């Protein structure tokens, strides 16, 4: 199993192309077409969101003594780690779960916005996650189809 130079996914190449991003193995970055550059940008965005899920799970774990319900904290940590793992593997199920998770997280922050500015930050993080995961180009990566030029 090799790691794709462009999307950083561990995969077996099919006809010398990555099955996730569709870019030829070993193709220099300067020789990429505009569509391939767009695909690489959104693949890196998906990776960044997955890392953010790992970071969020770590923050929740470190703040565990401040929470009264250990079950809720454990559930949040597990959900974040599972989403991070699925997003790193470009799983379509993880894509759908992440979109639902961001909508639910966003609705909680919209309803709670009057309780303080920390909910505004949560809303902005939610919108950034939805932008990087829920757009047409990212969905094409999760569905293993080429990104169309708009």
CA–CA distances in Å: residue 113 to residues 6, 60, 145, 146: 39, 20, 38, 39
Q: How does pLDDT run across 43-75, given as a tens digit for each residue?
A: 999 999 999 999 988 887 777 666 677 788 888
Q: Does residue 149 carry a pLDDT above 60?
A: no
Short-list 109, 104, 97, 107, CA closest to 142: 97
- The answer to whether residue 14 sits within a structural domain is yes
Q: Does residue 148 carry a pLDDT above 70?
A: no
- The answer to whether residue 47 sits within a structural domain is yes
- The answer to whether residue 147 sits within a structural domain is no
**Angular region, 42: left φ>0, alpha ψ -120 to 50, beta rest:** alpha
Using an 8 Å Cβ cutoff, are 30 and 48 in contact? Answer: no
State which residues form the domain around 78. Answer: 2-24+33-142
Q: Give the chain's domain count.
A: 1
CA distance 11 to 102: 28
- The answer to whether residue 149 sits within a structural domain is no
The number of residues in the chain equals 150
CA–CA distances in Å: residue 150 to residues 32, 64, 116, 132: 17, 45, 39, 17
- The answer to whether residue 15 sits within a structural domain is yes
Q: How does pLDDT run across 129-141, given as a tens digit for each residue?
A: 999 998 888 998 8
- The answer to whether residue 48 sits within a structural domain is yes
- The answer to whether residue 148 sits within a structural domain is no
Q: Residue 128: its pLDDT value, please?
A: 92
């Amino acid at each position: 199993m090799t790691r794709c130079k462009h999307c950083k996914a561990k995969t077996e190449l099919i006809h010398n192309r990555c099955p996730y991003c569709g870019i030829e193995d070993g193709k220099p970055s300067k020789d990429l077409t505009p569509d391939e550059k767009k695909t690489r940008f959104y693949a890196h965005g998906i990776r960044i969101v997955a890392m953010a899920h790992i970071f969020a799970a770590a923050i929740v774990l470190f703040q565990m003594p401040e929470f009264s319900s250990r079950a809720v904290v454990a559930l949040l940590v597990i959900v974040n780690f599972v989403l991070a793992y699925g997003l790193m593997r470009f799983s379509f199920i993880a894509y759908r779960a992440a979109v639902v998770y961001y909508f639910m997280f966003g609705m909680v922050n919209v309803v709670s916005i009057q309780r303080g500015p920390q909910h505004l930050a949560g809303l902005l993080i939610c919108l950034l996650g939805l932008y990087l995961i829920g757009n047409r180009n990212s969905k094409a990566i999760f569905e293993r189809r080429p990104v169309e030029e708009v």
